[in-house]
Structure 1
Amino acid sequence: MSADPLFQPYKLKHLELKNRLMLSSHEPAYAEDGMPKERYRAYHAERARGGVALTMTAGSASVSRDSPPAFNNILAWKDEVVGWMKALTDECHDHGCAVMIQLTHLGRRTRWDRGDWLPSVSAGPDREVAHRAFPKVAEDWDIARLIRDYADAAERMQAAGLDGIELEAYGHLMDQFWTPLVNRMEPPWGGDLGNRMRFALEVLGAIRARVGSDFIVGIRYSADECEAGGVSAEEGREITRRLHDSGLVDFLNVIRGRIDTDAALTDVIPVQGMRSAPHLDFAGQVRAATGLPTFHAAKIQDVATARHAVASGLLDMVGMTRAHIADPHIVAKIRRGEEDRIRPCVGANYCLDRIYMGGSALCLHNPSTGRELELPHAVARSDAPRRVVVIGAGPGGLEAARVASLRGHEVIVHEAAPGAGGQVRLTAQTARRAEMMSLIDWRLAECDRGGVQFHYNSYAEAATVLAHEPDVVIVATGGMAAEEGLRAGNELCVTAWDILSGDAQPGSSVLIWDDAGDFAALQAAEKIAATGASVEIVTRDRNIASEVMSMSLTPSLRELQRRDVRFTPTWRLEAVRRDGNALIASLGSDFGDMSCERRVTQVVTNLGTRPLDDLYFELKPGSANLGEVDYEALVALAPQTVLRNPEGRYKLFRIGDAVSSRNTHAAILDALRLVRVL
């Protein structure tokens, strides 16, 4: 038996878990028609294959028709879910991985205009800020059917062969009953803690009556809402004691905080730049007080912290959920002695943020996640090694080099800067986003293992490239900040990149024109405001920072609001003119002929990037494909066979921002699906 604490088996009731690592319940939003079909199954099966002991599906599966999907949730109230869940469970079991599911009624944490357009229901009439729905207050007949719905859903999961279920009681209906911040009901469902907990305990009792005493039933709950008037740490201890004394619960999955606003949710599930494992010690205190099996997950993104959690007796099972979204093979790599090869979670939260914005979970720097069916994580070696020259060592170029080396090709990279990173180096200038460099460092290490040759401070020209006699050339030169976009006065402005790089110093009163909606404007605003300058961010969009999603936006907004940065949506910057030592910024509107002006000392623009594509067009005439990409083949992961110039000596491609202004995920995806079939 391994001496590693993470590899000690753990017995939960009758279920033996082969190690201490798990995926906590989460909703990747891959369901189709409310069912966990092939894509959903492939995602969990990949992590089971990678060695995780327990995978928790859904976050959460809906038990009732009037709990419509807020995040493309699984519909556990439909009988047809049994077959789909059985197929998923059987495949994970084949890899020795246990399977559970989180069941819930979302209560007010959804919208009435989804699903069947039924009114949302809760223990009080107040809306949840995040979803804006005003619920009806539950009546006796609602409560009776909801208890029955929970029991029905649990029975379906038992029939599907799952190893157990988890009930969600943080931000959802169950704890909407027990928190004084929401519950406005009269006894027996409101008032003192006993009445507020009655619904949860009756649900647990009904489930036990239906599935029996052997089936594993746990609860994921907030033991401290961290908000005045809510469930305090003291009341949380009493809730925990009553759950323990009920004898109805087999494990606790501990949460600290609330999730009814973007900011509160981000404190529960911290993102990039926030403290790692902030609630771990708190979860350990709950375990010590109850002796019940205790699970927990909240930015435990590295193996050392997970190992500490088990070795110190803080947790029985450690949730490394976003870490497994980034790398499904964490356990296998530890077993092989390749812990240093684990693809790191950089906390960018592209996974959860996309879900909460109505998309599906993707990893910022692992494009195979969620695409397991069409874009497998493993890369096969080529039977025809080639010489591949990559220009640019940003995330896209490094991914192209990494994958080409895995394919067995000879790879040569030219980078104009003294080191790798591209735009990520600029992003990492903000200390809170320094974690982004991990996606660069990991690729550099993998390229080093693959024998990739790097040439830094090398501003490659066509002759430089052709001297290598390449078979394939990949231009990953990225882009530069766009400087033209105004009717007049472009030359009077500086870019957000100029501010971040230090090429321009902040003014004393600054207008930032954000027409890209990405992080650059926010980071520039933060740097400028830190000098004590007054800052206003103007955007023609209805929302600020439209490309920065809700949870990732939270740390930026906290910092900017502390420094009194103003946001002005629905106006556009049209022109800038000089007036003595000041600048006059002329604003217009897409909604009519309204106009206004601002008098400032500096105007900063964030207009996206323009491709650095001179080298590409210089090389294009000598290429066999004349730069053409067969999109059908690209999407189908088939080789690129376009031949437009029989005299061409090499195939030529460009990726990432060298094509158009997009994001890191797009650049890495470009590289992966192009190069994995070279």
Structure 2
Amino acid sequence: MSSSDPLLQPYQLKHLTLRNRIILTSHEPAYPEDGMPKGRYRAYHVERAKGGVALTMTAGSSAVSRDSPPVFNNILVWKDEVVKWTKELTDAVHEQGSAIMIQLTHLGRRTRWDKADWLPVVSPSHKREAAHRAFPKKMEDWDIARIIQDYADAAERMKAGGMDGVEIMAYGHLMDQFWSPLTNDLDGPYGGSLDNRLRFTFDILTEVRKRVGPDFIVGMRYTGDEMLEGGLSAEDGLEISRRLKDSGMVDFLNVVRGHIDTDAGLTDVIPIQGMANSPHLDFAGQIRAGTGMPTFHAAKIPDVATARHAIASGLLDMVGMTRAHMTDPHIVRKIVQGREDEIRPCVGANYCLDRIYQGGLAFCIHNAASGREETMPHDIPKADVRKKVVIIGAGPAGLEAARVAGERGHEVVVMEAAERAGGQIRLTAQSERRREMISIIDWRLDQCERLGVRIRYNCWADAEIVMEEQPDVAIVATGGLPDTAVLSNGNDLVVSSWDILSGDVRPGSNVLVYDDAGDHAGLQAAEIIAKSGASVEIMTPDRSFAPEVMAMNLVPYMRSLQKLNTIFTVTYRLEEVERQGNELLATIGSDYGGVKEQRAFDQIVVNHGTLPLDDVYFELRPMSSNLGEVSYDDLVNGRPQTVTRNPAGKFQLFRIGDAVAARNTHAAIFDALRLTKDI
């Protein structure tokens, strides 16, 4: 199909014709099984190939050596058995018209010695990486020699597995640890001058080329500027880029900017919501201009307009939209079909990456089918029988249920008590840092309008109002309300984090934020209060604060709150509050025992999650055919709900999201998708 759209132009990379200019850069969603890219992994990449992406780059940080144990679930390309699974993956992706490559690496010090075989972490110095905390062994000559061969072995396996090429990963990993003066203390041929620090890389490239030949595609992903005092500068990065080109052994450059040895550094390399889009795009363009090499780049390029600019202006040859494709795997297909306005937007919540860094699978905050392609559909099929579906609540759970039911072809009515949709998302999106979250709601509202879903605002639904609609199915998605009744005494004297976020309560001047939910609301409230000029202390009974916010999302909060002199107190529990004149006297204890003290504040904010707003559910329950019961076996195994406990009931009744229990946005949307897809 001919098109004048810069993004839809083919690109010739050596012998390989890429069908457009959009790629997924290498990333590891932690889907391997036993270190191999099996069913879940294959289904994830095949879906994006179906969606039209030109190239999917698999396996961020696949491990070339036994002593590079993954810190989360990565592919083990040092094992011969990987060839079989790789071949099944590459064949399936090629059948959909996409190219496929894989990233090879040795993590060096960016891992831990107490993983896998408990082998020492290695690096060209003894300097510890802050993020993973392992003190490395300083490499010997035999370490260098065996790892060079490990790279060559791994590249040969990937060629045998049908990959179109390999990308060698440098930044933050062992290769970059050789490059950077901050992490290379070696003497002799591999330390000291830039020539020596690059020798390890060129020795690897030489051995890789011997194994895979001159025609196989080999690229490099690396930092062109560490942005660290004493580290690699932009000038160093350009010189390294030129040397990679001049070597004749590298076919493309995939450049980033920054360092990843700390949470803060990682977040600057891979920005999240509330941070600038495409912050390193112009820098990548400078590398392309300075080398003339095929140049790839990805770093928070979430929208088609920015991607189109990157190609049209000559900054890049191939543009990475990696997290965007976790949100919507069919971006290219929708561009081709003139449905660009239907693309589900990435909101930069970074739920995907933060989960893997805490040992979980990567999931998109508002596409619950991503990573679950074997069981959850991206394209919702029509139902055999049209039903009347009434949904109470227009937060993320309710609107997802409405969207999916609409796609199924059902008649859908949504009842919302407020004058606008959004629920807790609308509240959290009031903070500048999380404003992008509102797209979760806006996109669903657009889809509901397209599908003919009727939304009744300012409608406080009770059983009578619901029954007037004569539903076949009623879904309660009413969410919850803040739970502040956590004290033995004085619950009436505290306010909730919601009170602060909504502006219903003005900040005090000496404030305790007691946060044992550990989610965004506590930190958002603390930031609002601190920015008002108040003195703020965040206290939690946990051993760390805000564990639900996770590493990369925590970084912007810390940068703000620390500048505002916020105090962080862990392992202490607020037990009771009493009024003492114009102040509130807080009694503070500890789960560890032996501690009891009293301190005065003029405001105490409690963040303790929500309790279900479930009155209408219990009103409707006796009239339903299933009495609200859900068959978990049917739910998990993708079958329609058929429970009947009340033969006289005329409708099925379900509840989802925080109307069941306080969880998070992803859980609410997943509830809605996996229930409603089978109605």
TM-score range relative to shorter protein: over 0.9
Shift of 1:245: 1.2
Shift of 1:161: 1.1
Give the stretch that moved more between structures: 502-511 or 237-246. Answer: 237-246
After superposition, what is the alpha-carbon deviation per residue over 1:263-294, rounded to whole angstroms, capped at 9, x for unaligned?
10000000011000000000000000000000
| Counterpart residue identity of residue 653, structure 1 | F
Write the mapping of 1:13-412 to structure 2, written as runs, cut at 5 A.
13-412=14-413
Aligned twin of 1:643: 644
Give the stretch that moved more between structures: 376-385 or 498-507. Answer: 376-385
Detail structure 1 runs of 4+ shifted over 2 Å in the superposition: none
After superposition, what is the alpha-carbon deviation per residue over 1:561-591, rounded to whole angstroms, capped at 9, x for unaligned?
1111111010110001111111111111111
Q: Secondary structure at the match of 1:225?
A: coil
Alpha-carbon separation, structure 1, partners of 2:621 and 2:182? 64
Shift of 1:169: 0.6
Q: Secondary structure at the match of 1:242?
A: helix
Alpha-carbon separation, structure 1, partners of 2:338 and 2:60? 32
After superposition, what is the alpha-carbon deviation per residue over 1:317-341, rounded to whole angstroms, capped at 9, x for unaligned?
0000000000000000111100000
| Counterpart residue identity of residue 590, structure 1 | D
- Establish whether residue 471 from structure 1 lines up as the match of residue 472 from structure 2: yes
Alpha-carbon separation, structure 2, partners of 1:106 and 1:327? 30
Aligned twin of 1:491: 492
Shift of 1:593: 2.3
Aligned twin of 1:507: 508
Unaligned runs of 5+ in 2: none
Shift of 1:54: 0.2
Shift of 1:376: 2.1
Alpha-carbon separation, structure 2, partners of 1:140 and 1:597? 61
Alpha-carbon separation, structure 1, partners of 2:662 and 2:200? 51
- Establish whether residue 570 from structure 1 lines up as the match of residue 571 from structure 2: yes
| Counterpart residue identity of residue 360, structure 1 | L
| Counterpart residue identity of residue 407, structure 1 | R
| Counterpart residue identity of residue 160, structure 2 | A
Alpha-carbon separation, structure 2, partners of 1:454 and 1:160? 51
| Counterpart residue identity of residue 305, structure 1 | T
| Counterpart residue identity of residue 270, structure 1 | P
Alpha-carbon separation, structure 2, partners of 1:466 and 1:376? 31
Shift of 1:219: 0.2
Q: Secondary structure at the match of 2:229?
A: coil
| Counterpart residue identity of residue 511, structure 2 | V
| Counterpart residue identity of residue 313, structure 1 | G
Q: Secondary structure at the match of 1:593?
A: coil
| Counterpart residue identity of residue 224, structure 1 | D
Shift of 1:370: 0.6
Write the mapping of 1:561-640 to structure 2, written as runs, cut at 5 A.
561-640=562-641
Unaligned runs of 5+ in 1: none
Alpha-carbon separation, structure 2, partners of 1:255 and 1:665? 29
After superposition, what is the alpha-carbon deviation per residue over 1:496-547, rounded to whole angstroms, capped at 9, x for unaligned?
0000011111000000110100000000000000011000000011111011
After superposition, what is the alpha-carbon deviation per residue over 1:327-361, rounded to whole angstroms, capped at 9, x for unaligned?
00000011110000001100000111101111111
Give the stretch that moved more between structures: 177-186 or 287-296. Answer: 177-186
Q: Secondary structure at the match of 1:307?
A: helix
Q: Secondary structure at the match of 1:176?
A: helix
- Establish whether residue 429 from structure 1 lines up as the match of residue 435 from structure 2: no
TM-score (norm: length of structure 2): 0.99
Alpha-carbon separation, structure 2, partners of 1:206 and 1:49? 35
Q: Secondary structure at the match of 2:575?
A: strand
Alpha-carbon separation, structure 2, partners of 1:597 and 1:342? 54
Q: Secondary structure at the match of 2:639?
A: coil
Q: Secondary structure at the match of 2:271?
A: coil
| Counterpart residue identity of residue 236, structure 2 | E
| Counterpart residue identity of residue 597, structure 1 | Q
Q: Secondary structure at the match of 1:158?
A: helix
Q: Secondary structure at the match of 1:188?
A: helix
Alpha-carbon separation, structure 2, partners of 1:313 and 1:159? 34
Shift of 1:377: 1.3
Identity %: 67
Matched residue pairs, number?
678
Alpha-carbon separation, structure 1, partners of 2:542 and 2:495? 21
Q: Secondary structure at the match of 1:197?
A: helix
| Counterpart residue identity of residue 212, structure 2 | V
Alpha-carbon separation, structure 2, partners of 1:69 and 1:458? 51
